[in-house]
Amino acid sequence: MAYKLCHFNDIPEGESKGFTANGLALFAVKKDAELYLYKNECPHLGVNLEFQEDQFLDMDHELIQCSMHGALFNITDGLCISGPCQGDELAAIPWKMDDGYVYLTMV
Ligand code: FES
């Protein structure tokens, strides 16, 4: 079963957006016209990452940031490069695009 999340253009370049699909908390980041989708769960303590709705990025919008203890993650591969869970990764979630819309392919 595929869950429609949003239109690809609903997420501006350099921004992030949170979703809940089938009880699963997720977020997407658009960078350089590519979309990256992750489970909204910090590998440090398993909490949601954002400090405000749809705010998953650091001030420069170059990295994903956990609001709890400040862990920083690459947008492109979810690897934690700084913080208490350095070396761990966010869980990437498979998705597909169909007619401009972003769909979860597995939940
Ligand atoms: S819970 Fe995310 S850095 Fe601690």
What is the predicted pLDDT for the residue at 2?
78
Cα atoms in the 13 Å half-sphere on the side-chain side of 48: 15
Atom of ligand 1 nearest to the CA of 47: 1
Nearest CA to ligand 1 atom 3: 69
Give CA separation, 17 vs 25, 84, 100, in Å: 11, 24, 17
The amino acid at residue 31 is K
Q: Give the Cα-Cα-Cα angle 7, 10, 11 (nearest 5 degrees).
A: 120
- Among residues 16, 11, 5, the alpha carbon closest in space to that of 65 is found at 16
* Cα 12 to ligand 1 centre (Å): 26
Q: pLDDT at residue 96 above 80?
A: yes
pLDDT at 31: 97
Stated pTM of the model: 0.95
- Using one digit for the tens of pLDDT, what is the confidence trace for 5-50? 999 999 999 999 999 998 899 999 999 999 999 999 999 999 999 9
Measured in Å, residue 5 CA sits from the centre of ligand 1 at 26
Domains of the chain, with CATH numbers?
A: 3-104 (2.102.10.10)
Q: Residue 1 has what pLDDT?
A: 66
Per residue in 62-86, pLDDT tens? Answer: 999 999 999 999 999 999 999 999 9
Show the ligand 1 pocket: residues with CB < 6 angstroms.
42, 44-45, 47, 66, 68-69, 71, 83-85
Cβ 72 vs Cβ 80: under 8 Å: yes
